[in-house]
Structure 1
Amino acid sequence: MKEMLKSILIILLVLLSFIPHNTSPRRENIVQIEQTEVSKGIFFVTPDSSYEALKYIFSLAKENICIMIYQIWHPALEDLIVNAADNGISVYIAMEDNSWNLNFAYNLSQRNTSGRIFIKIDNTEYYYHAKAICVDREILLVSSENFLPTAYPDNLPTLDQRPYNTPSRGFGAIIFDRTIAGQWEDFFLDRFNNRMIWYDGSIGEPPTDNGDTQFERSFGNLTTTNFQAELLLNPGSYEKIIDLINNAKRTIYIEAFYMSLGSSYVNQLIDALRAARARGVIVQIIIEDDWNTQYYSASETIAQLRSYGFYVAPAFDRIGDPIFLHNKAIIIDDFIVVLGSINFSGGGLNANNETGLVIYSTEVAQFFKKVFEWDWNASTTPYFDEDKDGLSYYEETDIYGTNPSSPDYDYVIVQEPQNNAYINKTSFKMRWNYWIEEKITKLEVYLDGLKIAELPSSTKELTLSDLEDQEKHHVKFVPHGIMLMRSTDVYFWVDTIPPSLEIKGLMNNSIVDSAFIIVNVSVSDLAPDTVFVYRNGELICQGIGILNISLLRGMNRLEFIAKDKAGNSNRTVFYIESTKGTIGLRIISPQDGDFITNPNVKISWNASINPDYYLIYLNGSLVANVSGNLNSYLLNITDDGLYELKIEAYIDGEIVDVQMIEFSADISPPNIVFMTGNYTMIFGQLDVKFSVKDFSKFTLIVYVNGKKVVYRIYNGYEEKSLVVSVNGLEDVNITVIAID
């Protein structure tokens, strides 16, 4: 027993030695955050599209996963963590000290056969309230929602009502950016190493099982590269949020679990919102009204917010409260989105261990604005945009003075350029049209505040010349006619200069003993877009910043093409020879996700050079050793099911490349079984029962005495039964046909 305890202690000490330590005190651990151009983002909505995002980020992990969470209890997430650890990935979890979390930790500890799951518990006065996951210091998931089945349902439309009896609404994002992920991991490790205690084996209590319910999703995910991002960490997140509100020009939409009025930090935020309202900004707030405590009254908070001139809706009241609003999000001027774990409370805005993101993107703001509109319409009336003209009810009544019940459109419809476009010439022709031309008598055109033309309504184009390069320009169209008309504004940038491209970490005509190289790609430009990287003419990646570029064995021609948003481009080429690169193995057929109906499956592949041999695996079992000068193999499939195909290439006994795909096989016809042996006529009716089972969807056709009585499509994978009732006849012919 003593020897076993000694071994456990040694293992713990070894594991601890792998975790970086930072002894900086709390108040000095302030990360300098900057707005970052990121390579990609995935934006999701809970509970509609959240579990897919959660599962996806786990699939990307190669070395380690860091999780900071306030509440965590989820059987499917437990499986994801254990599977990651069993595959050699270290998982570090920093969690708040509560009964559900302890039960989840206990479940993990019982399955931690790999020894790669490390759990620590809060030991401070500050809540570990973040809901964030970082993968390999490269990818960061940030959400408003705890990791619970009601926020991340894994089997929609069926939703597991644990721990709550309603699903929870929230926003989330996955950011692919080494700078942001690295900043957050430093924040995580400081707390994990210096401010927490190891999980002690407590069993805790699982949440109450309220059964299942049905929830139909309304929103998917948005994947885009068209945004910039900024990380929010405490202390001091409230300062950034207030600064954003102070610069709002038109609209502020807020979804809030609660607002703790009376806290000095919340009061500063409310003062900023009141100042925005005073200068004409629309402030709309959806707030949960079914959460009250001894110290907090939702109804009193709503009344107070309304007294400030804000438009406030009790969350989901109009449709009977089937969803619980747990969000903490702000959308400003259809361009800025603030999301994450930061509640509108003193602790949330300054003291707790929180994680938030500021996203700068019209595309992302519009994505989440559609969710806000749906939630508003589910909460109260008047509807958010009753006439569907793109302007909210309160924009029309408070800003434009238009009728919110009938569509109002820009009388001038600008065709060229698009708003916020980048133009790569200093002279170009603007074109426009009119919504209702007969109502317009003349049109005034202003450029950067100066009137440059007064035109009849018949004129629909104007050439702008000698525009300042590297500048933003503003054109205002002011129509005049038989009624008061709204003006139209268009903003655009002039950028004729190609981007300046710099590649660090790469030497031309060099030889490397590696399968990949890491380079730092920087671009200087008014509006940099991205850099495309081509290897031997094939696009292999794109982005700005740190890029990991895979190499082929032999000579690699790497071409970097930088493009800006105006369409200007610049390029540079490097020649790199690799002695350890991959061979460019690619499976040609079947393709990933294919559905196969022939038991004889021809596998084909190609590679840039021939290896010594290939090993072919099917569902983890070796099925063939193939010579390196071949590029096809015939598989024989005997059973229906899902198959994982893996091909490994070897040179000198070492694996040099590997490719994997999944395909489905359905080679058997549907199985029809009549479930009743003796048929009897009762009151002139004949009841016949049968079942149909198949791997894929099938069409069921039933004929009774030659007349088609059933034609339906069913899903496969499970038995289906149908009762056919017919009028009493001496001879009855029943034909059942199933086609997959």
Structure 2
Amino acid sequence: MTRRTRQQKSSSRTPQIGLLTLVLLVAAAVISQLTGVDILGTLTGAPTWTPLPPTAIADIPGPATLETLEVQKGFGARKDFWQVYFNAAPVSSNSADYNNGAEMPLVAAIGQVQATLDIAAFEWNSPALTEAVIAAHNRGVRVRMVADNEHTIEDSDTTITALVNAGIPIVYDQKSSLMHNKFMILDGSTVWTGSMNYTQNGIYRNNNNMVALRLRRAAETYTAEFEEMFINREFSRKTSPVMDAAFTADSTPVQILFAPEGNIIPVLVETLNAAESSIKFMAFSFTLTELSDVILQRAEDGVKVEGVFETIGSDTSFSQMTPLRCAGLDIRIDGNPYRLHHKVFIIDDEIVVFGSFNFSSSAANTNDENIVLIGDADLAAQFVAEFERVQARAQQPTVNCR
């Protein structure tokens, strides 16, 4: 993602096709142009930021100026079409303190759902979210769920059985790769996504973010991805068209991509390469040399780079912590005794990248993932504040620079 609009290319069509087929193709092309969803699977390269009429985007307006949100055991803010939340992890090592935390805004939102609730969950054991989802189901909301089988069914502390017993339909990925998404779609108009797993660890121990997008366009894009998994039972590498989308909302560029079928790495490389002054990142896992290479190049060109790695795994041969640190960049390991679980880039304090996508080969090539890029300085400022909180308690790593 850059500030420049890029052109997408359409593959040519042979003229020897029937009238009905031609009509269907034209209709699909029109839908693709209006929605940003590549129904035909003909678009190549990275999705572009295609400006759209405002009436096609934000149905649920928010405040025009930034507002701070009161969040127990966390931080929050909202403006225009977005709300962002960070948990104040770690809250405590005592599970008795794990209540009324950063999950409560989502619990409240679920309590307002009137018609539909779609959930993609890598892990699930939050009592508050479990109760909220069952309550929605019991009042007549159509609830659907897709989940990673290894990290929901097989977890000893899962509460997903309560959802099953309530009669909520759940589709499991049944693959060795991960269904690593953590998103919800509320009433087909709002998406909640980010790095936060719907668990007590995710909410109260690990550093995480959660963003609500009050955009029907985003909801439609995520719903298409959700239904590939729920209805078509397609996980990991899919045969369906790529559901990525790029558009503007309230003059703000937004880009949504899904892995492994999307072009996430090229988009991230292009976005990082466009950095003019600064790159900040927080990474649970960072092993992709494609990203570290462009970061090193931008640093050589004078861009200031700061990053915090999750400690566990940062000293492996695959981690990019040592190469970046040995290049003289301000790279640290986190000070949370549990996990730094963010997957965030902040470019020039203007563009923010977030979602479930770890900066790893597994995320890019095998897992079901999502990632969002938004060019909004106010949203970026909220992530910068979280970065500074994390960086303040981070530690200098011990590395062997050869």
Q: Does 1:152 align with 2:203?
A: yes
- More helix per residue: 1 or 2? 2
Separation in 2, partners of 1:308, 1:333: 20
How far, CA to CA, are the matches of 1:101 and 1:289 in structure 2?
28
Normalising by structure 1, report the TM-score.
Answer: 0.38
Instruction: State the one-letter code of the partner of 1:233.
Output: F
How many angstroms apart in 2 are the aligned matches of 1:29 and 1:151? Answer: 38
Aligned residues: 302
- Is 2:308 the counterpart of 1:289? no
CA distance in 1, matches of 2:160, 2:253: 36
Specify every segment of 5 or more residues in structure 2 that has no aligned partner in the other structure, as ranges.
1-38, 52-56, 62-80, 90-100, 236-248, 397-402
For the 8 Å contact 1:70–1:129, the answer to whether it is kept is: yes
Give runs of aligned pairs for residues 326-725 of structure 1, distance below 5 A: 326-380=341-395
**Structure-2 change in CA distance of 1:91 and 1:144 (3 Å):** same
Partner of residue 230, structure 1: 255
Displacement after TM superposition at 1:312 (Å)? 0.8
Shift of 1:52: 2.6
**Counterpart residue identity of residue 44, structure 1:** Y
Q: How many angstroms apart in 1 are the aligned matches of 2:317 and 2:389?
A: 22
RMSD: 3.0
> 2:85 corresponds to which residue?
44
Residue 55 of structure 1 corresponds to 107
Distance 1:29 1:361 in 2: 30
Distance 1:244 1:371, change over 3 A: same
Amino acid at match of 1:120: V
4+ residue runs over 3 A deviation: 26-39, 99-103, 224-228, 298-301
Q: In 2, distance between residues paired with 1:374 and 1:360?
A: 22
- Tell me how far 1:191 sits from its aligned partner: 1.5
User: CA offsets, 1:651-677, max 9 Å, x none?
Assistant: xxxxxxxxxxxxxxxxxxxxxxxxxxx
Q: Residues 118 and 185 of structure 2 are in contact (CA less than 8 Å); yes or no, is this contact kept in structure 1?
A: yes
Displacement of 1:347 in angstroms is: 2.2
Structure 1 residues 132 and 95 mapped into 2: Cα distance closer, same or farther (>3 Å)?
same
| Aligned counterpart, 1:310 | 329
C-alpha displacement of 1:364: 0.9
Q: CA deviation at 1:28?
A: 4.8
Give, in whole Å, the separation in 2 of the partners of 1:50 and 1:92.
23
1:231-270 counterparts in 2 under 5 A? 231-234=256-259, 235=261, 236-260=263-287, 266-270=288-292
With structure 2 as the length reference, what TM-score do the two structures score? Answer: 0.68
SS of aligned partner of 1:273: helix
* Aligned-partner SS, 2:279: strand
Aligned AA (2:138):
D
The residue type paired with residue 224 of structure 2 is D
Q: How far apart are 1:123 and its partner, in Å? A: 2.7
Using a 3 Å threshold, how does the CA distance of structure 1 residues 349 and 308 change in structure 2: closer, same or farther?
A: farther
Mark the structure with the bigger radius of gyration. Answer: 1
1:98 is paired with a residue whose SS is helix
Could you tell me which amino acid in structure 1 is paired with residue 301 of structure 2? R
Which of 189, 198, 221 is the aligned partner of 1:183? 221
Query: How much does 1:42 deviate?
Result: 0.4
Structure 2 counterpart SS, 1:297: coil
Deviations 1:602-627 (A, max 9, x none): xxxxxxxxxxxxxxxxxxxxxxxxxx
Write the distance in 2 (CA, Å) between the matches of 1:196 and 1:107: 25
Structure 1 unaligned blocks of 5 or more: 1-25, 154-166, 198-223, 261-265, 382-740
Preserved CA contact (<8 Å) 2:280 2:345 = yes
Q: Which residue is 2:209 aligned to?
A: 171
Aligned match of 1:192 in 230, 234, 248?
A: 230
Query: Of 120, 136, 140, which aligns to 2:191?
Result: 140
Mapped to 1, the partners of 2:378 and 2:170 lie a distance apart of 38
Q: Distance in 1 between matches of 2:127 and 2:379?
A: 31
CA drift at 1:47: 4.5
- For the pair 1:276 / 2:298, whether they are aligned, the reply is yes
Q: Secondary structure at the match of 2:358?
A: coil
Q: What is the aligned partner in structure 1 of residue 181 from structure 2?
A: 130
Q: Which has the higher contact order (CA 8 A, sep 6+)?
A: 2
1:688 equivalent in structure 2: none
Q: What is the DSSP-based 3-state SS (H/G/I as helix, E as strand, rest coil) of the residue aligned with 2:223?
A: helix
1:131: Cα distance to partner?
0.9
- Matched-pair identity in %: 21
**Shift in Å at residue 126 of structure 1?**
3.9
Q: Is the 8 A contact 2:188 2:220 kept in 1?
A: yes
